Amino acid sequence: MSFLRPEARAALARWSEGLVALAVVGFGGWLIWLGGYLLAPVGALFVLAGAGWGLTEVRRLRFQRPVAAPGLVEIDEGQVGYLGPDFGGYVALRELAEVRLIRLHGLPHWRLKQADGQALLIPHQAQGAAALFDAFAALPGADMAAFTAALDRPADTQTVWTQPARSLPPRP
């Protein structure tokens, strides 16, 4: 027996991590308010940690959209896969050269391109696509603010990440 409506329970589940981050910030503020040479710096650390956690969670929530596209996104051991009704495949995260956000028929799709030219197109609103946030965060030099900002821009094609140039070993 539950005292909350299903809609309220779903909203609380969606925002639970953000609410915990807010509680951490509040706890840190309370420690700062208590003052002292020990509690004030510890409270400031809690506030900074909670604020960082909350910012990350807000960006992660912007990645979550209602499932409106067919297919399923899988992330398993460094590989991103999309299993769709018409197309699909897998790409290795360590071999990615570029990530683009493109709009096809007005809907955003992630285009993951490997160094060998293979590409995988993933609808942003496919089931499990919200897990791409954590996969993209693991890319070297990834700016997650750029990924989330790209979702709000109306441009047809946007390159949001490219593999940083690797330095070659010196010649003998």
- CATH code for the domain of 103: 2.30.29
Secondary structure E strands in the chain: 72-76, 79-83, 88-92, 96-104, 107-114, 119-123, 157-162
pLDDT digits (tens, 9 = 90+) for 105-155: 888 899 999 989 899 999 888 888 888 888 998 899 998 888 888 888 888
Q: Are residues 18 and 83 in the same domain?
A: no
Which residues, in sequence order, are bridge partners of residue 119? 113
State the pLDDT at residue 131.
87
Q: Are residues 76 and 125 in the same domain?
A: yes
Q: Are residues 92 and 151 in the same domain?
A: yes
Host domain of residue 156: 72-162
Percent of the chain with pLDDT over 70: 91
172: in domain: no
1: in domain: no
**Three-state secondary structure call for residue 4:** coil
54: in domain: yes
Handedness of CA 120, 121, 126, 132 (dihedral sign): positive
Q: Are residues 87 and 135 in the same domain?
A: yes
pLDDT digits (tens, 9 = 90+) for 69-100: 788 899 988 899 999 888 889 999 999 999 99
153: in domain: yes
169: in domain: no
Q: Are residues 56 and 119 in the same domain?
A: no
Q: What is the Cα–Cα distance from 118 to 90, expressed in whole angstroms?
A: 10
Q: What is the Cα–Cα distance from 35 to 24, expressed in whole angstroms?
A: 17
Q: Enter the pTM of the model.
A: 0.67
Asked whether residue 10 carries a pLDDT value surpassing 80, the answer given is no
Q: Are residues 80 and 26 in the same domain?
A: no
State the total domains in the chain. Answer: 2
Asked whether residue 168 carries a pLDDT value surpassing 60, the answer given is no
Per the model's pLDDT, the better-predicted residue between 47 and 8 turns out to be 47
State the pLDDT at residue 101.
93
51: in domain: yes
State the pLDDT at residue 41.
93
